[in-house]
Structure 1
Amino acid sequence: MIRTVIAAAAVATLVSGAAAAHEITHAMGVTDVPDNPQRIVVLTNEGTEALLAVGVVPVGAVESWKGNPWYDYLMPQMGEVTLLGTEGDPNLELIATLEPDLILGSKVRQEKIYEQLSAIAPTVLTETLGAVWQENLAVYAGAVGQAEAGEAVIAAFDTRAAAIRTALGEKASDTVSLVRISPARTRMYFKDSFPGVVIDAVGLARPATQDRQEFAEDLTRERIPELAADRIFYFSPDPNDAEAEANLSDWLQDPLWLGLDAVKAGSAQRVDDAIWVAAGGIFAANILLDDIEAAYGLASTR
């Protein structure tokens, strides 16, 4: 279900010359946005997924995290889109040449360049990324005049999650543990995270160690027993990264890991790190549902 939306949709209609506009209250204030923007720049992968989901193709977008330059599932729709750099370092000069009439992004990524972006075109920023992806989708959809389409996209996700919950039967009471194993830091993911929200939408429970309305917590190998659950989804950086794979191997061969009931039962699955952690959008959320169906041997609800 959609929680409180960060930014209200159109709350007033204005007229500036011949162009109608509406006010959007967002993380940086209030901005007059064209009612029917035609040239939209988006500065997060989450935002790109939101726009595509409501049938809007941006003129420019930043790359997906470790995409090439965008995730494979987005590439077929991105043929004419101009690449604008990364979320943390978008190319302002290139953005200006696109002559956008609306820029969408996130305060957590673009707060420092908000004034520069606003000098180019009306700019709407959500507060943050991750667990609030549904609220953010509603903001982006409203900003481009597709509020109803955004509501329909979220409703379809909720309906699909509910169908999976029903299909799980007695397994719907399973506990699910989430862990990202990385050379830099290994973390347990709690309920206030992107994968945590999707797991919660399906109705699966979390073990007591992760049943918290927080994002994540660093984990050492000595604390592996805290990952105990009926099922474990684990993710790790790029499988082509030798250091990451060696580190993951050390964790997966640790006696404490091998002693987990889920591991012994074959109920610990590796899933795509980029999709489960970094993508953060509606397309990724549906891929997470695909992975849950596959893990439980369910028929696809796509």
Structure 2
Amino acid sequence: MGVTMKKSRALKVLSAVLVAGFALAGCSSADADSGADSAASQGNWPRTVETPKGPVEITSKPERIVSTSVTLTGTLLSIDAPVVATASTGPNTDVSDAQGLFTQWGDIARERGLAVLPMGGANAESVLAQNPDLIVVSATGGDSVVDLYEQFTAIAPTIVVDYGGSSWQEVAAVLGEATGLEDNAAATVAKFDSAVEAAKAKITLPPQPTTALVYYEDGSGANIWTHESGQAKLLTAMGFTVADIPESAKSSESMGKRKDIIQVSAENLYDGIAGNTLILVSADDGAVKAVEALPLLAQHPAIRDHHVYAVGLDTFRLDYYSATNMVNRLVEQFG
């Protein structure tokens, strides 16, 4: 489907999807031919982007992008993608502002005039109202609305991006390709990587290896970040050695399709923390005190020797902005 598809036609197609409930796989060919000439004048268009849902053709450079994933919006903003609307999370939390935008980039979104999609997750009607020419959906995570993929494809080309198990830099490359902003993505990543190298030279590492996790405040266990997570990859880039997670500590429960997190129950937490240093993600100093006070961990070397550190409340979902914050906090802790 060409990105110049008329909104009235999209509405008719969408109505068929919503009311009749059947797939509209062949609706994209009519506008592709009409948009081919203008696409060629804007660069290497049309282009095909490989996604977890298969190849997606984008006929011309997007000018109105809707992000249905609050996690992916930060990376889109960091490469100066023309985002017109974004999904949100719950408002007025430790990580979000009054609009439900992440605090690390909420001000930037407002400066650029982004519309905020209704609370409770993006839906086809709210996305259609933004007249998008590209829709971005996350494959996994709490902000994923991938179940609505077929409805979104009736509106505009839709790409699914899997940020679970990918660094934000890898996500930036995918989004750069889809938006024709490869140079912007590369420049943003290069700027960040340069900052990481400079920060690495300023720190003295605590005892290695390191375990990074999100501690459950109810004391029922933790999510431990795997080597495939963006958090572990960032720690590795800073010189840390990320500990393997013992098989014996892993919960029988699953995190769905995510590859970046392993659930560990409270009774297995001691064994799950295989590192001599513990990094608490999505946490502040209050979480450090709570973890150090746990009787079941009292004799663990990381707790006993007070090598427990928090890297900020905004570090659960990494983008350029929150990853930069995490780097700065690591320098504060170990510089």
User: Per-residue deviation at 1:280?
Assistant: 2.7
Unpaired runs of 5+ residues, structure 2, are 1-31, 40-45, 251-258
* 1:34–1:101 Cα contact (<8 Å) kept: no
AA matched with 1:287:
N
Going from structure 1 to structure 2, the CA distance change for 1:64 and 1:150 (only over 3 Å counts) comes to farther
Amino acid at match of 1:36: K
Q: Which residue of 2 aligns with 1:72?
A: 103
Distance of aligned partners of 1:63 and 1:291 in 2 relative to their CA distance in 1, 3 Å threshold? same
| Equivalent in the alignment of 1:269 | 309
Correspondence for 2:117 = 84
* Offset from partner CA, 1:99-154 (integer Å, 9 cap, x none): 11111122332332111101111111123435343222111122111101101212
- Asked if 2 retains the 8 angstrom alpha-carbon contact of 1:221 and 1:251, the reply is no
Tell me, in whole angstroms, the C-alpha distance in 2 between the residues paired with 1:52 and 1:153: 11
How many corresponding residue pairs? 274
Alignment of 1:153-302 (within 5 A): 153-168=188-203, 171=205, 174-182=208-216, 183=218, 185-209=221-245, 215-221=261-267, 223-224=269-270, 226-227=272-273, 229-235=275-281, 251-273=291-313, 275-277=314-316, 279-296=317-334, 298=335
Contact 2:62–2:82 (8 Å) recurs in 1:
no
Q: Secondary structure at the match of 1:59?
A: strand
**Whole-Å separation in 1 of the counterparts to 2:327 and 2:299:** 28
Quote how far apart the aligned CAs of 1:248 are: 8.5
**Offset, 1:161:** 2.1
C-alpha distance in structure 2 between counterparts of 1:125 and 1:92, whole Å: 15
1:138 is aligned to: 173
Hey, what does 1:19 align to over in structure 2?
38
SS at match of 2:263: strand
Code of the residue aligned with 1:159 in structure 2: it is S
Correspondence for 2:137: 105
Match of 1:122 in 2: 157
Structure 1, 67-76 or 211-220: larger mean CA deviation? 211-220
CA contact (8 A) 2:134 2:156 kept: yes
* Aligned CA distance change for structure 1 residues 85 and 249 (closer, same or farther; 3 Å): farther
Give the TM-score normalised by structure 1. Answer: 0.78
- Change beyond 3 A, Cα 1:22–1:225: closer
Distance 1:51 1:210, change over 3 A: farther
3-state SS of paired residue (1:105): strand
Q: What's the TM-score, normalizing by structure 2?
A: 0.71
Distance 1:289 1:238 in 2: 15
Instruction: Note if contact 1:225-1:256 (Cα within 8 Å) is conserved in structure 2.
Output: no
RMSD of Structure 2 on Structure 1 (CA):
3.1
In 2, the alpha carbon distance for the partners of 1:231 and 1:286 equals 21
Q: Is the 8 A contact 1:28 1:107 kept in 2?
A: no
Corresponding letter in the other structure for 1:227: I
Shift of residue 174 of structure 1?
3.2
Residues in 1 aligned to 2:269 and 2:61: alpha-carbon distance in whole angstroms: 53
Q: Cα–Cα, structure 1 residues 210 and 42, in superposed 2: closer, same or farther, change >3 Å?
A: farther
Point out the more displaced range, 134-143 or 186-195.
Answer: 186-195
Distance in 1 between residues matched to 2:54 and 2:233, nearest whole Å:
27
| CA deviation vs aligned residue, 1:49-85 (integer Å, no higher than 9, x gap) | 1111112341110014652311222121122211114
For structure 1, which runs of at least 5 residues remain unmatched after alignment?
Answer: 1-13, 240-244
- DSSP 3-state at the match of 1:168: coil
Does the Cα contact within 8 Å between 1:176 and 1:205 map onto a contact in 2? yes
After TM superposition, the structure 1 stretch with the greater mean CA deviation from structure 2, 252-261 or 34-43, is: 252-261
